Amino acid sequence: MLDGLVMGELVFVGLGLHDEFGITLRGLEEIRSSDNVFIELYTNFMPNFSLERLRKLCGKEVLVVSRKQLEDESGRVVLEAAEKGKAVLLVPGDPLIATTHISLRILAEKKGIKTRIVHGASIISAVIGLSGLHNYKFGKSVTIAFPQGEVVSETPYEVIEQNKRLGLHTLCLLDVQVENGKFMTIAEAVEILAKIERKRKRGVITSETLAVGISGAGSRNPIVKADVIDLLKQYDFGVPPHSLIFPGKLHFMEAEALKVFADAPADVVEAMVE
């Protein structure tokens, strides 16, 4: 805060990953005790989410706010409500982990509005947990983005290469453009990386490279499948969002987990054990 004056309160509440039932009990209590409730649904796609069910669950009116309102207009509608009382902003996943609302929290604090976070399940921890790989052996994560015309970002290729050099795993989040109804599939992501490989020719992504594809994180029946990418891209992962992991060197327990949880080819994973 700038002048020591405390106004209202803004609470960022995570919704989890798949549907409205991913919200925590603490999150529900924050909603029920609030004066105004807002929700953004553009930073990630929740396949089985229902706004109507959420409204019935929490017993409150929930106002949907757009990217324009939160980013271009600096969240004015949310901040004005928080200046007068307690406002809640519902966010897919875990607030401020894989979203873009840090600037909104900073603006709120500068205005003297108290802020808090109620965490929800994050795609980052969920995907890593589903894979059976060890969290501390992951390097830098990266997003594989849709090409902009003929321009393809080569950053994912470079990050995978850097992590592999260190023996680390790479988590690749796949581009989601909810407002445009575009959700990158594992097959599309693999093709983008293969295209970069054809240009770079460094052997980072070959037909025999092992990868783990995951979809349905947060649902009752997530899909987890590991294979060489030439076969993985043919696998049906169902409804997005999809995620992709490129393992580095494996601990023997990680290799066993990939075989049991992801039906990985035994000869491939065993050759990667350090």
Distance CA 4, CA 61 (A): 32
The reply to whether 266 and 131 lie within a common domain is: yes
One domain for residues 184 and 147: yes
Same domain, 107 and 146: no
Residues of the chain with pLDDT under 50: 1-4
- How many domains are there within the chain? 2
| Whole-number pLDDT of residue 121 | 93
> pLDDT tens across 12-36, in order?
999 999 999 999 999 999 999 999 9
Q: What is the distance between the terminal CA atoms of the chain, rounded to a whole angstrom? A: 51
Same domain, 110 and 194: no
Give the structural domain span for 114. Answer: 9-118
pLDDT at residue 232, rounded to an integer? 96
> How far is it, in rounded angstroms, from Cα 253 to Cα 92?
32
Element (H, E) at 165: helix 155-165
Which residues have CB under 8 Å from 78's CB, separation 6+? Answer: 10, 38, 65, 69, 70, 87, 89, 104
- Please report, for the domain that includes residue 73, its CATH number: 3.40.1010.10
End position of a domain, from candidates 53, 85, 118:
118
Q: Indicate yes or no: pTM above 0.75.
A: yes
Whole-number Cα distances in Å, 80 to 29, 107, 112, 231: 22, 11, 12, 52
> Which residues lie closer than 8 Å to 8 by C-beta, 6 or more apart?
35, 81, 82, 83, 84, 85, 86, 87, 113, 114
Residue linked to tokens 């290729």? 157
- How far, in Å, CA of 40 to CA of 195, rounded? 34
The answer on 128 and 84 residing in a single domain is no
Give the pairing of strands 176-177 and 170-174. Answer: unpaired
Q: How many CB atoms lie within 10 A of CB 268?
A: 18
In terms of Cα–Cα distance, which of 143, 213, 206 is closest to 174?
Answer: 143
CB 241 within 8 A of CB 123: yes
What does the pLDDT look like over 124-153, one tens digit per residue? Answer: 999 999 999 999 999 999 999 999 988 999
